Structure 1
Amino acid sequence: MSEEMLAQLIGHAESEGAELVTLRAIAEEAGTLGAQRALARLGLEDAGAAKDMSELRELLGAWRDAKRSAFKAAFQWAGRMVAALVLVGLAVKLGFPGWLR
């Protein structure tokens, strides 16, 4: 349907000397047709595509949250290990093993 409309508009532009309104209509129809073709190539032209995209966005958001939580947990673990090593080093330096005897 849009391809026919685009062909009609181009024919109209040729016969009338291409007025600004006609050229704008051609550009709009060409944009719509291009968007429809792009969606069709991606497999997103059906009615369920909006729901699929929404679910994919939710999944991507959950993945980002999980990744952020994993990095946060890893840094917290590393920080605790560094703090524990500092405490052990201080205890050895201050002679804590001697206090146990």
Structure 2
Amino acid sequence: MDEEEALARLIALAGTSASAAGDAAVLRAVVEEASELGARRALARLGLADEAARADVADLRQLLSAWRDAKTSAWKAAIDWAVRGVLALLVVGLAVKLGLPGLLK
């Protein structure tokens, strides 16, 4: 019996159940079966239903982590160079203001 048949039988059983405790148990089983079936279908549509999917997702996570690290490093380097440029301009401005270019002649 596949998952769809099991779900259909649970739904039929839910329609014939007489006790409140039985209704809750059957309803819970129906929800669990339906959610598992839906999850398997979604994974199959994404191409992640085979055995290699776990390794593929792990590789994608590692690649995403490396991308985030590279992006963070690039931003830090750009900010570092911008700060160095501003400081260099400040030093040149102070040198001009204090008349140091006249001392070099």
- Is TM (by shorter chain) over 0.5? yes
Report the alpha carbon displacement of residue 99 of structure 1 after superposing the two structures with TM. 1.0
Query: Structure 2 matches for 1:21-100, cutoff 5 A?
Result: 21-100=25-104
Listed as ranges, the gaps of 5+ residues in structure 1 are none
Listed as ranges, the gaps of 5+ residues in structure 2 are none
Cα distance in 2 for partners of 1:85, 1:53 equals 48
Cα distance in 2 for partners of 1:64, 1:23 equals 44
TM-score (norm 2): 0.93
> Any idea what the Cα deviations from partners look like across 1:46-93, whole Å, max 9, x if unmatched?
000000000000000000000000000000000000000000000000
Cα distance in 1 for partners of 2:29, 2:98 equals 84
TM-score (norm 1): 0.96
Identical-pair percentage: 58
Computed over aligned residues only, the root mean square deviation of the Cα atoms, in angstroms, reads 0.9
Aligned length: 101
Cα distance in 2 for partners of 1:96, 1:71 equals 35
> Any idea what the Cα deviations from partners look like across 1:3-32, whole Å, max 9, x if unmatched?
111001011111224711000000000110
Cα distance in 2 for partners of 1:59, 1:28 equals 33
SS for the counterpart of 1:47 is coil
